[in-house]
Amino acid sequence: MSLPERLKGEFTTLSLVLMPIAIAINIVGGIFIVALKLPIYLDSIGTVLVGILVGPWAAAVTGALANIIWGLIMDPVAMPFAITSFFIGLTAGFLAKKGYFQTFGKSMISGFCIGLVGAIVSTPIVVYLFGGVTSSGSTFITAYLLATGKQLFFSVFSSSMLSDLADKLITAGIAFYIARNLPERIRSRFSQSTGA
């Protein structure tokens, strides 16, 4: 199947209804965690859910749009991370396509992979755009590592790995639970319903 055909299959009316709901889930989760200054994010649950139910490209667009909208209306720091969310969505969707959200154990493997991608993509953004300091709670981990004499890039990557891995394991578990507990008549209407 060609890319245009895959895109057409993912961007159906039903998925276009799901995407704004997923964006809202991402933004609400992110705002809640930023307010609490916790070293996790919970701003990708909707993105991963779209990846499970619809596919990688719809999830990538959902993730990127969530960060852009969040950045425009609430927290400008969120906007550059649209690229991170894009790759989180792609990763989640491709893993779901390969069956990595069919069991809870496999969803934890997916969470680990998504967290790794998130840390790799977000570290240069945090280092080069923000000098290692963002509005997230993981900044406290970075500050601690810097205080112990570690280099900036190492400190940011280490804190991103810790935060992203923990966050994406939780995110994958929540998204798996939501997808599995949707009524079958709803879940079966999505293009990638076998991913859950």
- pLDDT tens digit sequence for 46-75: 999 999 999 999 999 999 999 999 999 998
Mean pLDDT of 152-159: 93
The count of structural domains within the chain is 1
Does this model's pTM top 0.75? My answer is yes
CATH number of the domain encompassing residue 13: 1.10.1760.20
Amino acid identity, residue 51? G
User: What mean pLDDT value characterizes the chain?
Assistant: 92
CB 195 within 8 A of CB 58: no
Report the candidate in 77, 75, 70, 71 with the shortest Cα–Cα distance to residue 130: 77
Using pLDDT thresholds of 50, 70 and 90, give the confidence band for residue 38. Answer: confident
> Rounded to an integer, what distance in angstroms lies between the CA atom of residue 76 and that of residue 99?
35
Query: Structural domain of residue 17, as residue ranges?
Result: 3-195
Between 123 and 34, the higher pLDDT residue = 123
The pair of structure tokens assigned to 139 is 């900044």
